[in-house]
Structure formats: structure tokens, C-alpha cells
Amino acid sequence: MSLQRNDPTTLAGSLQAGARNVRGWARRLWQRSRPLRQRLLDYWQILISPSQTLSLGFLSIGGFLAGIAFWGAFNTALEATNTETFCVSCHEMRDNVFQELKTTIHYSNRSGVRATCPDCHVPHAWTHKIARKIQASKEVWGKLFGSITTREKFLDKRFELASHEWERLQANDSLECRNCHAAISMDIARQSQRAASAHQRSLFTGQKTCIDCHKGIAHRLPKGAYDFGMTQETAALRDFLQVGDK
């Protein structure tokens, strides 16, 4: 089977004046795309024809080994970008959110068990992990174009960034929290009265999810996270003094 590249006869077919007279855009498109269809068909013929120079063994075993190598490399790269070391290798993360995490119970506590960045920010199940990774490619864009090169830029963007995480956790019923904190394993007798009744009332009934009440558990809350109870006067005073978020 030979390729008919730049075959004037097929190309000419679509350029015939007659094609213009055909009624209906779909039919016109079908006729005009004939050279493209022809070429795809040619490639398909190559794909389904037996190999002429490479042995079957080379192709099958080699293909199998190449597959292992590709998959291994893919997963290694995936896991390498799924570590805290990788996250804090950028100053955007290291100087801002990571410093805040260090003061919280998810980093420093009596038992020494701790959460790393991806524990909370990347889903553990493979499909969802890939989806999140594709989403996170936007962060590479942000890094390349310097959207958070300074502390001030971070503070300006912080509410929006936090909102994305809150929305994500609200949508997946706080999946990343529940990877460690299972409602079924909560001994509410060992919780404070306040926590026990809140969990019984809202969590066990499914009315609320973790993030609804536990925003800011591992980082400082941005301006605007809880504006209720803050008067316009307080907000105005805050903006006038331009204080906060140290």
C-alpha cells in the first residue's frame, strides 16, 4: 500500500466547482474533507499491515518493555511532584503557606504524626489525582509568569486561592480530611462537650462537611474569610490602617 501524498487528483476533487453547489453544510464539509479522510485511511492501512523489517518478537517484547519503562517513569515523575519537598522548592509555597503550616497541629504535635502538602491538597485515588494534577498545571503557568512573586501579590490573591480549596473540599465532602479522620472512628466521648455536640448535630447527620467549620485549620485565614460579625466600621478601619496578615 503506497501513500498518495499530495495527489492532485484527490485534492482536485474537493476543489471542484461542483462541490460548492451541493446543498447543506454537512454534505459540503463531507466532500471537502475527502483528501484528509483519504490520508487518514492510508495511515490506517500502514498500521494494520504486518511489519516488513522488525520481527514480531522485537515488536511485542520490546513494546512490552517500553510500556513498563514509560509507565514506571510516568509514575515516578508523578510521585516526585507529589511530595512536600517538591512543593516547597518554590518560594511561593515555602515563604507563605508552608511557614503557616509549621505552627499548626498538622505539622507539629505531641505524637509526631503529620500531614504533608499533598496529603490534604491532592486526592489519593488515582483518577482524581490525575485530574487534580492536570488542574495544577495552571500553577506552573503562574510560576512561569510570576503571579505570586512577592508577599503582597500573595496576599492580594490569597482569598481567591483559599476559596478554590474550600470549594474543592466542599464538593468532594472533605475527602482529603477523611483520608485520615473517619467519622466512624471518632470517639466523641473523648471530645470536648462542644466538639461532641457539634459533630453529632452536623457531621454525623451529613448536614455539614469538615471544611464548613474547620477552615483555616492548617493555614491562616485570608481577609474576608469570615466577614460576618465584622462591622463595616471595623472593615473600614482595617483597610485604612492596612494592617494584618503578618
Q: Give contact residues for another protein (rule: CB under 8 A).
A: 103-105, 192-194, 197-198, 202, 213, 216, 220-226, 228-234, 237-238, 241, 243-246
In the complex with another protein, the residue whose CB is nearer, 32 or 214, is: 214
Q: Quote the least distance from Cβ 241 to another protein, whole Å.
A: 7
Closer to another protein by Cβ: residue 82 or 218: 218
The residue (of 36 and 105) whose beta carbon lies closer to another protein is 105
Q: Which amino acid is at 83?
A: T
CA distance 24 to 227: 58
118 and 83 Cβ atoms separated by less than 8 Å = yes
CB of 112 to another protein, least distance (A): 18
| Distance in angstroms (rounded) separating the CA atoms of residues 124 and 32 | 47
217 DSSP 8-state letter: S
We find the least distance from the C-beta atom of residue 225 to another protein, in angstroms, to be 5
Longest CA span, the chain: 84
Name the residue nearer to another protein (CB basis): 19 or 196. Answer: 196
> What distance in Å separates the CA atoms of residue 225 and residue 162, rounded to the nearest whole number?
9
CB of 216 to another protein, least distance (A): 6
Q: Shortest CA distance to 79 belongs to which of 50, 40, 122?
A: 122
